[in-house]
Structure 1
Amino acid sequence: MLNVIQLLPDSIANQIAAGEVVQRPASVVKELLENSVDAKAKSVQVIIREAGRNLIQIVDDGLGMTETDARMSFERHATSKIRTSDDLFRIRTMGFRGEALASIAAVAQIEMRTRRAEEELGTLIRIEGSDIKAQESISCLPGTNLLIKNLFFNVPARRNFLKSNSVEMRHIIDEFQRVALANPEVAFSLFHNDQEIYNLPSGKLSRRIVDMFGKSYREQLNFCEEQTPYVTVHGYIGKPESAKKARNEQFFFVNNRFIKHNYLHHAVVGAYEGTLPEGSHPFYVLFIDIDPSHIDINIHPTKTEIKFDDERSVYAIMMAAVRKAVGLYNLSPSLDFDSDVNFLAGVRPGPGKSSTADVKSDVQQPLPERNGARPISPSWASGATQPVNERGSTRNDSLDKAAGSSFDIPKKASVNNWQALYEGVAPTESIARPVTPGGTSDKEGDWLGEAKQPSPSVVDQLSMDSEPITMGSRANQLQVGLESAEEQALPVLVDDDTIIQVQNRYLLAPIKSGMLLIDQRRAHERILYDQFHTALTKRNGSSQQLLFPKTITLMPVDFQLALDLREDLVNLGFEFDELGANTFVIRGVPALVMGENEEELFANLLAQLRADTGRLKLDRIESMARSLARRSAMRYVNRLSTTERKALVNQLFASVNPSYTPTGEPVTVVLSLDKIAGLFR
């Protein structure tokens, strides 16, 4: 039998190794930038063409290499950092100045010029697909100049799997940002197709953050530090009000190496103690210094995921550090002990005035007698004046201000108009009984019992001051001619006039089989998604022109993304023009978006699209429709009128899939009569 096992040629072995190290052009940029930092460079320049497909050039002023080291750096398993196995657990630097070069040389055309400062001549090496084409002495500047040309030229299958230039460039910018943040003492610059994207001078970490993300971050940076014998945490965190929905501005560095760690992210978010809006993530750049023997960085090929030998201790120290910074800079809300926080709203008599002077105030009406008991009325309803505090305002005035600033309460609402609950229940009789579909009263189904009618004068007075809450018995009537709910694909409303809004979050509507509960925000998201998807598909999105155009400055990666998606954004209804570097003038927004901050809407949409890149396998239209619908969906605090409730429900059930949001979250829940009855057992 012939032997079938044989050693692979070096060229094939290098290509296999390249599959782990070189996933896309951004991988090459990351490895070469880390090599430049390890070479103690003070200035690093990155030049990109066609998102790295044609050219990736890294120029640094580091130590450079001798002729022998330059040749050895392209050999497999060649490194200057490791001598014994114990060195693997003591490495604090990034690249090994040769670990990645062999893999990169296997799938690209490389030209390297390098020289040490104390030497007169440098070395030029040309390699194509692991084959050395030339090696000679040349005159060049101190440091290293690496040109990576035609990436994956000899592996066309890998080249075909690369994304569009805009997507690949965003990955390059992400890697550039991580290395630049970890090394603020090094000057970095980035050029793409001869256009300058970043020019970051050396300086402190705070200046690096402002130079990279914009001047608006200067006001929200707060220093964070905690030192322990086991681990040291330091860096900057953002204010709660600057938190964003997209999770793409959170940076952890362990021994100056960028990592992703959901467990530590949970510690940071938990330290804000509920000051963050729901679903928002704060900005932070946090560095963790720890003995390398306590971590394992080899659990992922890209070294972005690590393990700690004592994760609970790191979690506790991280939370304590952020919590101390939040308290030190007063980022959490504080209590105002001068204001009255009792929750009471309604009409209050003014200072020094008797409440009986305004006889039309609904809160001054005595409550009707029930079961022979005497009516209960406020102590100041009999003519007594309210106490006046030191500031000259009444206690009830402060109550109104506290309640009005904390809750969205209608101006005419009152805690005393409970009588309105009985309106429509017993319109002609003193005893309220529900009416069966046949029109007769049902004594056995008397769900209110022997409730008496309120006084007509009280009802009339209440109707003048507030909108009555009608709970008519016709809510149990069936529409004539409707088929049974079991035969319908969707629940059929018994009466769309009885749609009730609960806590400005849910809509409750009666159906034949029970009650239909609708999530208000998710329903709006479903409706907007269908409309945005139609606008993008048919290219007929309507735009609402702004009276005063808004100017917005974006991060370079978002600016580039907006240029690439200009046609689709215009189809949605956005109208914008370029105004200098990384700046747009917004002249119009989609007409379907109401009451939104135009700058935040535009920036958040781009951030969401960038965050979804690579995570969701969606086409561009689907991703944009989802992102904008999620950003534009109304929040829980919206109070809807009766007409708006009916319109929302009608538009929801006109959708192709009214039961679920575009991301698969349920929109409606049916509470059957049996389930409701089970709640009372």
Structure 2
Amino acid sequence: MERVHVLDPVIQNKIAAGEVVERPSSIVKELVENSIDANATSIEVFIEESGLKMIRVVDNGEGIDDRDSRLIFERHATSKIAEDYDLFEIRSMGFRGEALASIGAVSKATVESYRKDRQPFKLEYSGGREVNYTDGKSRVGTVVTIEDLFFNTPARYKYIKSLQTEAGRIIDIMQRFSFNHPHIQFKLAFDGKVRFHTKGNGNLQEVISDVYGLNVARHSVKVEAKTPDYKLSGFIVRPEITRSNKNYINLAINSRIIKDFRLVQSVVEAYHTLLPKDKYPVVILNIDMDPKLVDVNVHPAKTEVRLSKLKELQQLIEQTIREELRSERLIPEIEAREKTEKPVMTQNVFDFSSRPVFDNTFNEYKRENIFSNKEGKTQNNFDFNTEKRDEVSYVNTPIEEHMSHSRESYDDYNDSKLPYLEIVGQIHGTYIVMQNDEGMYLMDQHAAQERIKYEYFYENIQNSDERVPLLLPYHFEFSYDDVIRIDEKLKDLKALGFNIEKTGIKQYTVTEYPSWILKDDPEGDIESVIDFISNTDEFSVNKYREEMSIMMSCKQSIKANHYLDLTQMRALLKDLSQCKSPYTCPHGRPVIIKWTTYEIEKMFNRIMK
């Protein structure tokens, strides 16, 4: 074994570059952060061949003092901190003094800078060694050019994916910078073509429009919250706009890009039941806090952080976003599409000699020979005669009784999250057609009752100590595989209010059950509860409340092709109006969608482009 010796500084920097310079996007991030620390108001980034050939960052910041020019490529040379205490109060983007040294060790780098009242200079580096030093141009700011990346470490090329992938990473980094610093004008160009730019006027919603498009910006909602430790600010996008991954959840602490799974999960939880399965929201959120509460000196990339009061921050994020969403009317609007040729459809001839009459909002619907076919028979889809269809109904279950939903006029609900809606009829036994001055609405009756029953179950599971005794106990028999799991969960079942005992090798007896189990089919519901809990690896009350509420609400809600009369439709709409979040079912599907009057008129060419 060789004797211990200190490595050459060039080798040290190449080793450090393994963490700091992972790919071209890492270089872009480090250089742009330096420009931000220099108080630049305009930052331009030019890329060739996804950064492998050339990366150039041009800013109008304060510039570098020529007296420090020979130090900028030295390892751990920085102007951001001076003593160890400064590590506990980092307020700048950079502070480690590793970036330029690492970048210069694996590329050909040129730095040209000018600071007011000092001398402009131009410094060229190649493979970690100085090549040339000359006078520069008298332009305030700094231009850093990185060429032939990894020319002296060719093994790194194996870990570089396609040029498109690397370009995507650079775009993602620049977009996040623009969200965190809307007062800075950003410009990004690939191979001479500008990919995006921002105005730098401080308007974050305009930046969202520049990056994600006008539609996303139009559906964005401003959020703000403040506690003694934290200040939240940014925009959340209404749940009708979703993405298939979490990459659109943009989080920053003190305007620094961070990646923290726990905070991202808090954002997702805040959209509780408002998103479809495997869909995620678009969120831009900055967290201002005392630098003493966060440690950013975790990894050279500076995206990982450690927080002193993580749980408090998670609660604040979740509560702030959830309250803002609850205050919004989240009924998605359907955009009018261009008219396309479709096959000719035929339909029955309707008699429009008379029309329906409304005394007021929800007074009795008077029909006078409307929707009659040629034989004079009334069409079933719009038959509100309850005497003819008593076998089909929206049943008044104990949920409605528990929630004390009376059948007064819908106008009596001043705290409803839904707008005034006038019921027109039902189509396909599945969707309820409604209208108001703003346009036409379509309600999915199954999704609506799912939401109603979900909120009932979620509020009452574990919140009610009342039990229902059984004169004749229920007896259940399960397979041997199930018995093993059920035996492990008997304590959990008893904690939820079930008086359950094992009475045989495969038999169980229930003599009492909690009052939130509905009276329609208690035996079936109890069996579902036992099956659910026995198949849950790690039982927790919150997880149980959530998943069990979803399962039971779906099972017990009216299905498609279930015809309702007008009174039943009114009752369903009224119950929905009292929900805390009446816009989606527990699975995240919309309950009501809307066509505005403008969109309808546009489809019929009443409004011409």
TM-score (norm 1): 0.51
1:51 aligned partner: 50
Once the two structures are TM-superposed, the CA of residue 158 in structure 1 deviates from its matched residue by: 0.7
1:133 aligned partner: 131
CA distance in 2, matches of 1:69, 1:97: 16
1:162 aligns with 2:160: yes
CA distance in 2, matches of 1:388, 1:272: 32
Once the two structures are TM-superposed, the CA of residue 408 in structure 1 deviates from its matched residue by: 7.4
The answer as to whether partners of 1:272 and 1:332 remain within 8 angstroms in 2 is no
The answer as to whether partners of 2:120 and 2:137 remain within 8 angstroms in 1 is yes
Once the two structures are TM-superposed, the CA of residue 189 in structure 1 deviates from its matched residue by: 0.7
Once the two structures are TM-superposed, the CA of residue 267 in structure 1 deviates from its matched residue by: 2.1
1:82 aligns with 2:81: yes
CA distance in 1, matches of 2:39, 2:408: 71
Once the two structures are TM-superposed, the CA of residue 398 in structure 1 deviates from its matched residue by: 7.5
CA distance in 1, matches of 2:150, 2:140: 29
CA distance in 1, matches of 2:38, 2:266: 35
Q: For 2:165, what is the secondary structure of its paired residue?
A: helix
2:321 aligned partner: 322
CA distance in 2, matches of 1:178, 1:250: 10
2:183 aligned partner: 185
One-letter identity of the residue aligned with 1:176: M
The answer as to whether partners of 1:66 and 1:123 remain within 8 angstroms in 2 is no
| CA shift in 2, pair 1:97/1:198, >3 Å | farther
Report how many residues are paired. Answer: 379
Once the two structures are TM-superposed, the CA of residue 58 in structure 1 deviates from its matched residue by: 0.6
CA distance in 2, matches of 1:234, 1:366: 54
CA distance in 2, matches of 1:269, 1:328: 18
1:67 aligns with 2:44: no
The answer as to whether partners of 2:113 and 2:136 remain within 8 angstroms in 1 is no
Percent of matched pairs sharing the same residue = 33
Q: For 1:19, what is the secondary structure of its paired residue?
A: helix
1:290 aligned partner: 289
Once the two structures are TM-superposed, the CA of residue 269 in structure 1 deviates from its matched residue by: 2.5
2:29 aligned partner: 30
| CA shift in 2, pair 1:230/1:132, >3 Å | same
Once the two structures are TM-superposed, the CA of residue 271 in structure 1 deviates from its matched residue by: 2.3
Residue by residue, what CA displacement relative to the aligned partner does 1:385-432 show, whole Å, maximum 9, x if unpaired?
xx99999xxxxx8885796335578xxxxxxxxxxxxxxxxxxxxxxx
CA distance in 2, matches of 1:34, 1:388: 61
Residue by residue, what CA displacement relative to the aligned partner does 1:527-571 show, whole Å, maximum 9, x if unpaired?
xxxxxxxxxxxxxxxxxxxxxxxxxxxxxxxxxxxxxxxxxxxxx
The answer as to whether partners of 2:76 and 2:96 remain within 8 angstroms in 1 is no
CA distance in 2, matches of 1:366, 1:50: 70
CA distance in 1, matches of 2:49, 2:208: 27
Residue by residue, what CA displacement relative to the aligned partner does 1:630-662 show, whole Å, maximum 9, x if unpaired?
xxxxx999xxxxxxxxxxxxxxxxxxxxxxxxx
| CA shift in 2, pair 1:366/1:161, >3 Å | closer
2:498 aligned partner: none
Q: For 1:13, what is the secondary structure of its paired residue?
A: helix
Once the two structures are TM-superposed, the CA of residue 98 in structure 1 deviates from its matched residue by: 4.0
The answer as to whether partners of 1:109 and 1:128 remain within 8 angstroms in 2 is yes
One-letter identity of the residue aligned with 1:43: S
| CA shift in 2, pair 1:636/1:115, >3 Å | closer
- 1:257-656 mapped onto 2 (5 Å cutoff): 257-331=256-330, 404-405=431-432, 406-407=443-444
The answer as to whether partners of 1:117 and 1:143 remain within 8 angstroms in 2 is no
Residue by residue, what CA displacement relative to the aligned partner does 1:213-246 show, whole Å, maximum 9, x if unpaired?
2122231111100011011111000011112223
Once the two structures are TM-superposed, the CA of residue 127 in structure 1 deviates from its matched residue by: 0.7
CA distance in 2, matches of 1:390, 1:55: 65
| CA shift in 2, pair 1:332/1:636, >3 Å | closer
The answer as to whether partners of 1:115 and 1:123 remain within 8 angstroms in 2 is yes
1:146 aligns with 2:144: yes
Equivalent residue in structure 1 for 2:121, among 120, 123, 140:
123
1:237 aligns with 2:264: no
Q: Which runs of 5+ in 2 are unaligned?
A: 333-360, 371-376, 396-406, 412-422, 433-442, 447-550, 556-588, 592-609
CA distance in 2, matches of 1:365, 1:130: 89
CA distance in 1, matches of 2:110, 2:264: 41
| CA shift in 2, pair 1:222/1:7, >3 Å | same
Once the two structures are TM-superposed, the CA of residue 329 in structure 1 deviates from its matched residue by: 3.2
Q: For 1:241, what is the secondary structure of its paired residue?
A: coil
One-letter identity of the residue aligned with 2:232: V
CA distance in 1, matches of 2:408, 2:256: 62
The answer as to whether partners of 1:294 and 1:309 remain within 8 angstroms in 2 is yes
CA distance in 2, matches of 1:192, 1:367: 68
The answer as to whether partners of 1:35 and 1:97 remain within 8 angstroms in 2 is no
1:655 aligned partner: none
Residue by residue, what CA displacement relative to the aligned partner does 1:110-153 show, whole Å, maximum 9, x if unpaired?
1111110223x311111111111111223331111111010000
Once the two structures are TM-superposed, the CA of residue 293 in structure 1 deviates from its matched residue by: 1.4
Q: For 2:195, what is the secondary structure of its paired residue?
A: strand
| CA shift in 2, pair 1:280/1:323, >3 Å | same
CA distance in 1, matches of 2:408, 2:84: 80
CA distance in 2, matches of 1:83, 1:117: 23
1:254 aligned partner: 253
Q: For 2:3, what is the secondary structure of its paired residue?
A: coil
1:372 aligned partner: none
One-letter identity of the residue aligned with 2:185: A
Q: For 2:431, what is the secondary structure of its paired residue?
A: helix
The answer as to whether partners of 2:362 and 2:409 remain within 8 angstroms in 1 is no
One-letter identity of the residue aligned with 1:207: E
The answer as to whether partners of 1:53 and 1:151 remain within 8 angstroms in 2 is yes
| CA shift in 2, pair 1:55/1:303, >3 Å | same
CA distance in 1, matches of 2:390, 2:37: 81
CA distance in 1, matches of 2:389, 2:256: 71
| CA shift in 2, pair 1:636/1:17, >3 Å | same
The answer as to whether partners of 1:122 and 1:138 remain within 8 angstroms in 2 is yes
One-letter identity of the residue aligned with 1:67: D
Residue by residue, what CA displacement relative to the aligned partner does 1:324-359 show, whole Å, maximum 9, x if unpaired?
3213333489xxxx779xxxxxxx996899xxx99x
| CA shift in 2, pair 1:389/1:328, >3 Å | closer
Q: Which has the higher contact order (CA 8 A, sep 6+)?
A: 2
CA distance in 1, matches of 2:273, 2:221: 18
One-letter identity of the residue aligned with 1:17: A
CA distance in 1, matches of 2:145, 2:96: 15
CA distance in 2, matches of 1:298, 1:312: 21
Q: For 2:240, what is the secondary structure of its paired residue?
A: helix
CA distance in 2, matches of 1:326, 1:91: 34
Q: Which runs of 5+ in 1 are unaligned?
A: 341-347, 369-377, 379-386, 392-396, 410-501, 507-634, 638-681
| CA shift in 2, pair 1:62/1:390, >3 Å | closer
2:607 aligned partner: none
One-letter identity of the residue aligned with 2:166: E
Once the two structures are TM-superposed, the CA of residue 31 in structure 1 deviates from its matched residue by: 0.1
Q: For 1:141, what is the secondary structure of its paired residue?
A: coil
One-letter identity of the residue aligned with 2:65: T
State the Cα RMSD in Å: 3.8
Q: For 1:248, what is the secondary structure of its paired residue?
A: helix
| CA shift in 2, pair 1:275/1:69, >3 Å | same
The answer as to whether partners of 2:48 and 2:55 remain within 8 angstroms in 1 is yes
The answer as to whether partners of 1:153 and 1:159 remain within 8 angstroms in 2 is no
| CA shift in 2, pair 1:301/1:404, >3 Å | same
The answer as to whether partners of 1:326 and 1:332 remain within 8 angstroms in 2 is no
| CA shift in 2, pair 1:319/1:154, >3 Å | same
The answer as to whether partners of 1:223 and 1:237 remain within 8 angstroms in 2 is yes
Q: For 1:242, what is the secondary structure of its paired residue?
A: coil
Residue by residue, what CA displacement relative to the aligned partner does 1:491-527 show, whole Å, maximum 9, x if unpaired?
xxxxxxxxxxx99x99xxxxxxxxxxxxxxxxxxxxx
